[in-house]
Amino acid sequence: MNDDTNDDTNDPTRADRLLPACRFCGTPLRTSFVDLGLSPLCQTHIEAHQLGEMERFYPLHARVCEQCFLVQLPAFVAPDEIFGEYAYFSSFSSSWVEHARRYTAQMTARYRLGAHSRVVEVASNDGYLLQHFVAAGVPVLGIEPAANVARAAEARGVPTRVDFLGEATGRAIAAEFGAADLVLGNNVLAHVPDINDFVRGLRALLAPAGVITMEFPHLMRLIERNQFDTIYHEHFSYLSFSTVERIFAAHGLVLHDVEELPTHGGSIRIHARHAANAALPVGARVAEMRERERTLGYHAIERYLGFGEQVRQVKHRLLAHLIEAKAAGRKVVGYGAPGKGNTLLNYCGIRSDFLDFTVDANPYKQGKFTPGTRIPILAPEALRQARPDEVLILPWNLKDEIVEQHGYIREWGGRFIVPIPQLEVITP
C-alpha cells in the first residue's frame, strides 16, 4: 500500500505555491494582465561583433495582484545586471529637460527650497534635473546605479553616488549628507524589484518636515491608451494611484497631493510626507483621484481583464499597415531605439524586413542593433540620406518633438506613423 500522506497533488494551495508572489503584499499572482511572449532586456543593444552570438530572452508576462492590484513582472535579472551600465541618457530629450526645469522651479517655490535645503534625486541619470537645482544654489546629491550615466552627471557638476536605494543606503546617505528636504524620483518607482525596501529607503532619507515627489506612468492611462509597449523587464511594476497610496501607507508615509502630467503618455506625480507631519494637510486632489480610480473599477480584478485582447488588436493593425507598405514598395524606417520600442518590435515580430533601420539621437546607441530584432541604429542624419516614405515613431510619447524636429521629410512626401494608442499617419 502506498503511503500518500505527504502527497500534495490535490492540495489546492500547491498551485499557489508555484506561482510568483506579489512583490508588495506576497499574494500568489493568479491573474494574467498581458502576455507579450519572450523578449530580451530592452537596453542590451547589440554590437556588430555580437551579431553571430545568442541573446537571452525572458518571459514578458505581466500579472496583477488580486489583493492590492499591483501589476508586475517577475524579476528575472538582478538590478545591477540591468542598470550597471545603461544606455538611456535623459538629456537627449529636450522636452524632458524642459519638464525637469519647470519642476525645479515649481518645487523651489512651493516648498521654499534654497541654500539651506538638501535635495536628493533617486535614479538621477545624467544630472538632467539636478543641474537646475545646482544653478539655483541648492545643495544636491544624485543616487544613480549606472556608473556610465553617473559619470556624465558628475561632468556637469552634479554630485552623484553610484548605488541602489534601499533602507540601509537611505540611512547611510542621511547620516553622511543630511536628511533631505526634498527626495524626488522620476520614472524610478517602476524600476525597483523590492518596492518595500525602496520605499523604506525614501522614508530613511526624508527629513521630518521634508517631502517626497515621485513621477511614474499611470496604470489607468496605460490601459486606456493601449500602452503595452511600456511593459519591459526593466519595469518591474505598473502603478495606480490607489496601489501606491497603499504601499506608502504601509511604510509610514502619507500622500498629501497628486498631479496629473502628460509625460510618458500620461503620468502622475505624488507628493508624500511622514505620517507624523501634520503641517502638510491632505489636499482635495488625493480624494478625487482615489474616487476616480474606484469609479472606473481599479479596485476590482475585472477591470484588468481583457487588456490582452486590446494589445492583440494594436499588433494586428500595425502589421497590416507595414505589410501593405512593403507590398507597395514604400521604404519604411524607424525613429528611436527606446525601451518601449523594443517591446513593440519583439512582440510584433518587426525586424529589418519591415524597417530598414532606425535612428536615435543618443550616440551611445548609434552603430548598434536593437535587442532581439537586430535592426541597425543610425544617427538621425540618415533620414535625409535615405529619404524614407514612412517613419515609424517608436517613442510615441515624444511624437510632437520628433515631428517638429524632422518635419523636413515633407520635402519628399514622407509621413510619420504612430502605432499607439491607435495607428495614426501624420503628414508633416
Contacts of residue 163, Cβ cutoff 8 Å, sequence gap at least 6: 143, 144, 145, 169
| Whole-number pLDDT of residue 258 | 98
Which residue bears the cell 480610480? Answer: 293
With CA atoms as reference, report the closest residue to 92 among 402, 300, 407. 402
CB-CB neighbours of 133 under 10 Å: 24
Q: 331-340 b/e with 16+ CB inside 10 Å = b? A: ebbbbbbbbb
- Grid coordinates given for 292: 476616480
Q: What is the dihedral of CA 44, 223, 191, 69, to 10 degrees?
A: -140
Residue 405: pLDDT above 80? yes
| Whole-number pLDDT of residue 1 | 42
State how far the Cα of 93 lies from the Cα of 405, in Å rounded to an integer: 12
Q: What is the mean pLDDT of the chain?
A: 92
State how far the Cα of 371 lies from the Cα of 337, in Å rounded to an integer: 9
State how far the Cα of 32 lies from the Cα of 248, in Å rounded to an integer: 25
187, containing H or E segment: none
DSSP for 284-304, written as a single string = HHHHHHHHHHHHTTTTSGGGG
pTM of the model: 0.89
CB-CB neighbours of 121 under 10 Å: 28
- What percent of the chain clears pLDDT 90, i.e. is strictly above it? 82
pLDDT band at 15 (very low <50, low <70, confident <90, very high): low
Cis peptide before 421 (omega within 30 of 0): yes
Q: 167-177 and 195-205 are packed helices; what angle lies between their axes, rounded to 10 degrees?
A: 20
The 10s digit of each residue's pLDDT in 150-206 is: 898 999 999 999 999 999 999 999 999 999 999 999 989 999 999 999 999 999 999
| Whole-number pLDDT of residue 2 | 47
Report the amino acid identity of residue 32.
S
If one compares 35 and 9, the residue with the highest pLDDT of the two is 35
Residue 13: pLDDT above 60? no
Looking at the DSSP bridge assignments, the partners of residue 190 are none
Q: Which domains does the chain have, with CATH numbers?
A: 164-304 (3.40.50.150), 307-426 (3.40.50.720)
State how far the Cα of 428 lies from the Cα of 411, in Å rounded to an integer: 10
Distance of CA 223 to the CA centre of its chain: 15
Report phi then psi at 74, rounded to 5: -65, 155
- Helix (H, G, I), strand (E, B), or coil: what is residue 216? strand
Residue 5: pLDDT above 50? no
Residue 19: pLDDT above 50? yes
Looking at the DSSP bridge assignments, the partners of residue 28 are 21
- Helix (H, G, I), strand (E, B), or coil: what is residue 181? strand
| 352 and 375 Cβ atoms separated by less than 8 Å | yes
| Averaged pLDDT for residues 366-388 | 97
| 144 and 161 Cβ atoms separated by less than 8 Å | yes
| Whole-number pLDDT of residue 366 | 96
The 10s digit of each residue's pLDDT in 74-109 is: 988 776 666 655 555 555 567 777 888 999 999 999
State how far the Cα of 270 lies from the Cα of 97, in Å rounded to an integer: 20
Residue 408: pLDDT above 50? yes
With CA atoms as reference, report the closest residue to 34 among 4, 67, 59. 59
